[in-house]
Amino acid sequence: MSTDATTLARTVMAMRPIVPAKDFEISKRFYIELGFEPKTLTDRLVEMQLGVFSFILQAYYVQQWIGVWWPAWSIPPGYFGGSPRRPLRIRTETRRANEPAD
């Protein structure tokens, strides 16, 4: 590693991806239900933290860009009740409180 890269590596305090949200409030609730702690940065940005891991949820969404973003999580098998043979399915669609169930 070059001297500049080593210096930079010691200087960087955090690197967080910025995650787009089509519906900011529903997305925020989804991550909170998974156990993330929200820290409001602005009215359109919230840092979602889970232990030492975090990302920034953004109230901004461009349909054409969403196909290039996908989270990759490494968690132990069975952590959320699934198993390698029968993975857990997380419901990603959330109804608003006033919407009827399908």
44-77 per-position pLDDT tens digit: 999 999 999 999 999 998 887 766 666 666 777 6
Kindly state whether residue 34 falls inside one of the protein's structural domains: yes
Kindly state whether residue 38 falls inside one of the protein's structural domains: yes
> Residue 69 has what pLDDT?
64
Kindly state whether residue 75 falls inside one of the protein's structural domains: no
**Token duo for residue 39:** 């820290």
Give the global pTM: 0.64
In percent, the amount of the chain with pLDDT more than 70 equals: 63
Phi and psi at 54, nearest 5°, equal -155, 165
Kindly state whether residue 39 falls inside one of the protein's structural domains: yes
Kindly state whether residue 26 falls inside one of the protein's structural domains: yes
CATH of the domain at 25: 3.10.180.10
Kindly state whether residue 84 falls inside one of the protein's structural domains: no
Kindly state whether residue 86 falls inside one of the protein's structural domains: no
